[in-house]
Amino acid sequence: MQYTAKQLAQILKGTVEGNPDAVVTGFAKIEHGKEGKLCFFANPKYEHYVYSTQATILLVNRDFVPKQPVAPTMIRVENAYSAIAELLKYVSSTTNVHKRHRGWSLWHWSVKFGKKVWLGDFCRIGKKVVIGDGTVIHDHVSIGARTVIGRNCILYPGVRIYPGMVIGDDVILHANCVIGSDGFGNAPQPDGTWEKIEHLGNVIIGNRVEIGANTTVDRAEMESTIIGNGVKIDNLCQIAHNVQIGDNTVMAAMTGVAGSAIIGKNCIIAGQVGIVGHIKIADNTTIGAQAGVIGNVRKSGQVLIGMPAIPHANFMRSYALFKRAGEVEAEK
C-alpha cells in the first residue's frame, strides 16, 4: 500500500493538518510508530505517544487539542477508532481482490456458483449447494449438501459446514470453525446408559456475521439454531443446539452457551462466560469475564459479573463484605 495524507483524508472524509503530500506505506500502533507508518490516537491514556511517535501520519479525533507540538501530519476525523477500522477494511478490499477461480477441488454437478466465486484447493462441496456472488472459499473447506451461502462471504481454511445450513451475506468464518455439528443431546436410560438424540435441524446465520477460529455452532434438534445479523463471535466458543443470538451481539473467546438459551440484541459477552440452557437474556446486557449466568435476565441494559452473575453494583457491595470478612478472620 502507498497513500498520501490527502488521499487518506478523502477516503475517510477527514481534514489534513500538516503536509498533504506525506506518504505512508503501512500501519503501526502509536507506540511503535516509525517513518512511513500511519498510526491512530483514540485512547486518552496513549496521549504521551502523540508527542513522541516517529510516525508520518496520525489519525486523531476532530476535537483533539494537542498540549505539545505534534510532529506527524494529522488527519482529523469524527472518530479515529472507527476511521482506522474503515481504512483497514478499505485497504484489504483493494489489495485482496479475488477473481473467479476453481482450484483442485471436488464439487457436485448440481452446485450453483455465483459470479466471481473464488475456490481454493482440496475443497469438497455437496449436492445442490448454492454459493453467492463474490464469495471466497479457501483451501480444505467442506460444505455439506443443500447448504446456501450468500454473497461476499469468506470461508477460511478448514471450515466445516454440515448439510442444510443457511449462511447470509458478508459472513466471515475463520479457520476450522464448525457450523452444524450435532448438539449434545442424550437421553438417560433405565440401565444407566445414554441414548443419543438425533439432531435433524439446521443453523441459520444472518448477514455481516463473523465467527472465530475453532468455534462450533451446533444444529438444532428439529428447527434452527439462529445467529442474528451483525453478530461477532470470537475464537473457541461453543454455541449449543437451539440457541438464538440477537442482532449485533458480540461474544469474546472461550464462552459457552448451553442449549435453547436465547440471547437478546446488542449484548456484550466477555471471555470465558458460561450461560446455562433454556434461559432468556434481555437486550443490551453486558456480562463480565468468567461470569456464570444461571437464570433469566429480564431487565435490559444491566451489567452482570460474578458466579452466579448478578448486577455489577450488587457484586461490588458483596465483594467488599466478603473481602472484609476474610481480613477479620485473619486478625483473630
For residue 275, list its beta bridge partners.
257, 293
Residue 306 belongs to a domain with what CATH number?
2.160.10.10
Q: In this structure, are 280 and 133 located in the same domain?
A: yes
pLDDT tens digits along 237-281: 999 999 999 999 999 999 999 999 999 999 999 999 999 999 999
Backbone angles phi, psi at 50, to 5 degrees: -55, -35
Residues 257, 155 share a domain: yes
Confidence of residue 140 (pLDDT cuts 50, 70, 90): very high
CATH of the domain at 89: 3.40.1390.10
For 188-229, write each residue's pLDDT tens digit. 999 999 999 999 999 999 999 999 999 999 999 999 999 999
Residue 290, C-beta contacts closer than 8 angstroms, at least 6 positions apart:
270, 271, 272, 273, 307
Burial class (CB in 10 A: 0-12, 13-18, 19+), 198: exposed
Task: Give exposure, 236-257, as e/b (b: 16+ Cβ within 10 Å).
Answer: bbbbbbbbbbbbbbbbbbbbeb
Residue 107 located in a structural domain: yes
The reply to whether 85 falls in a domain is yes
Please give the mean pLDDT across all residues of the chain. 94
How far apart (Å, rounded) are the C-alpha atoms in residues 293 and 302? 13
Q: Which residues are catalytic?
A: 241
Last residue of one domain, picked from the residues 64, 95, 126:
95
In this prediction, residue 184 carries a pLDDT of 92
Q: Is residue 232 part of a domain?
A: yes
**Does residue 114 sit in the same domain as residue 69?**
no
Better-predicted residue by pLDDT, 141 or 89:
141
Are residues 283 and 210 part of one domain? yes
Phi, psi of 65 (to 5 degrees): -115, 105
Are 81 and 218 within one domain?
A: no
- 128 in the same domain as 45: no
Same domain, residue pair 212 and 302? yes
pLDDT tier, 70 (very low <50, low <70, confident <90, very high otherwise): very high
pLDDT at res. 59: 97
One-letter amino acid at 47 equals E
Q: Is the domain of 71 the same as that of 149?
A: no
Residue at 326 is within a domain: no
pLDDT number for residue 170: 96
- Percentage of the chain lying above the pLDDT 70 cut: 96
* 139 and 202, same domain (yes or no): yes
Task: For residues 187 and 205, state if they share a domain.
Answer: yes
Domain count, the chain: 2
Is 156 contained in some domain?
A: yes
Quick one: 168 and 282 in the same domain?
A: yes
Share above pLDDT 90 across residues of the chain, in percent, rounded to a whole number: 88
Residue 97 has pLDDT above 70, yes or no: no
Half-sphere exposure of 39 (CA within 13 A, CB side): 26
pLDDT of residue 62: 96
User: Is residue 139 domain-shared with residue 85, that is, in the same domain?
Assistant: no
What is the domain extent for residue 253? 101-313
pLDDT at 325 over 90: no
pLDDT at residue 332 in the model: 59
Global confidence as pTM = 0.85
* Neighbour tally for 110: CB within 10 Å: 13
- pLDDT higher than 90, residue 47: yes
